[in-house]
Amino acid sequence: MNLQRVNKYMERIAQSETTTFEPTGEKLKVGVDLGTAYIVMVVLDEQDNPIACEKQAANVLKDGVVVDYLGALQIVKDLKGKLEKRLGGRELLNCAIAMPAGTESSVNTHTYVAEGAGFEVTNVLDEPSAANAVYQIENGAVVDIGGGTTGIAILHNGKVIRMEDEATGGTHISLVLAGNFHIDLAQAEEIKQDYSKHKEILPVVKAVVEKMAAIVKRYVHPEEIDTIYLCGGTCCLTGIEKIFEKETGIITIKPDNPFLVTPAGIAMNCIAG
Ligand code: ATP
């Protein structure tokens, strides 16, 4: 993976949360990521340049499956509306969506949420393949640690050959922080997402991260895989890659901003419209 290229691209994606960039070409691509902790919508131009991005914290999916259809629909409609407003009233037509491993049977629900918000779904892919549209890894493991789930994908010659999904993620870290500091979950989330607090909270959450790495180790073997590539919001945690490296014995790398890798990769796989 060309870390410099990925860092530059992800920085531009992050900037597109607050700045709307001018697209090159007529058509646009949209990625809709329905997550356990966040629903994210990324808009790219035909050349995959970041144009705009919106996200909203949400509690409408569990283990990658939509449990509150109307809630999910409303959020996707709201995000689409916000982006269209930012684009001067231009309608977003097409989108791509992605599914975590093991939730393929829920593809219809995901599709109905996007269609209900007025999109035509032009592609449905698996989440690790979406992440790899950004990373462009030939061989290795992509580990996507989100809010409620951790996706583990083994790539060979640029293709996903094995995928697993485990019910562990950032919510577990927040629960530990809440218990330790005697605060509610919302306050714990706030502390966790504050980079200036990471040094202080790392010793408290280290055991949970080690447990996550131990789960990943069950599927990723050093004789097969020489590098783990991290993505997902939870990997924003400063120093997480070092804990993974120690626990798995495998070189572990992440970009400066691993949060929006999967949603950006989903958008790259949309047919522009
Ligand atoms: P899932 O993949 O489980 O469906 P998701 O797609 O909603 O969930 P992401 O959007 O990749 O997951 O990540 C959300 C998680 O990332 C949340 O638990 C959030 O608290 C955590 N997170 C976001 N920013 C940071 C940060 N700066 N430091 C630590 N954790 C963070």
Q: For residue range 30-53, list pLDDT tens digits in order.
A: 999 999 999 999 999 999 999 999
Q: According to the model, what pLDDT value does residue 160 have? A: 92
Positions in the chain short of pLDDT 50: none
Residues present in the chain in total: 273
Those residues whose C-beta lies under 8 Å from the C-beta of residue 37, and which sit 6 or more positions away, are: 57, 58, 146, 147, 148, 169, 170, 171, 233
Q: According to the model, what pLDDT value does residue 64 have? A: 83
Least Cα distance to 12 among 257, 231, 232 occurs for 257
Give residues (CB < 6 A) around ligand 1.
Answer: 33, 35-38, 64, 146-149, 169-171, 189, 192-193, 195, 232-234, 236-237, 259
Least Cα distance to 3 among 266, 264, 231, 240 occurs for 231
Q: What pairing do the DSSP bridges indicate for beta strands 140-145 and 50-57?
A: unpaired
In this structure, the residue with its CA closest to atom 13 of ligand 1 is 233
The full set of domains in the chain, from first to last, is 3-130+260-268 (3.30.420.40), 135-253 (3.30.420.40)
Ligand 1 centroid distance, CA of 116 (Å): 25
The H-or-E segment that residue 4 falls in is helix 3-15
Of ligand 1's listed atoms, the one at least distance from the Cα of 171 is: 18
Q: According to the model, what pLDDT value does residue 156 have? A: 95
d(CA 104, CA 100): 7
Q: According to the model, what pLDDT value does residue 102 have? A: 78
Q: How many CB atoms lie within 10 A of CB 253?
A: 17
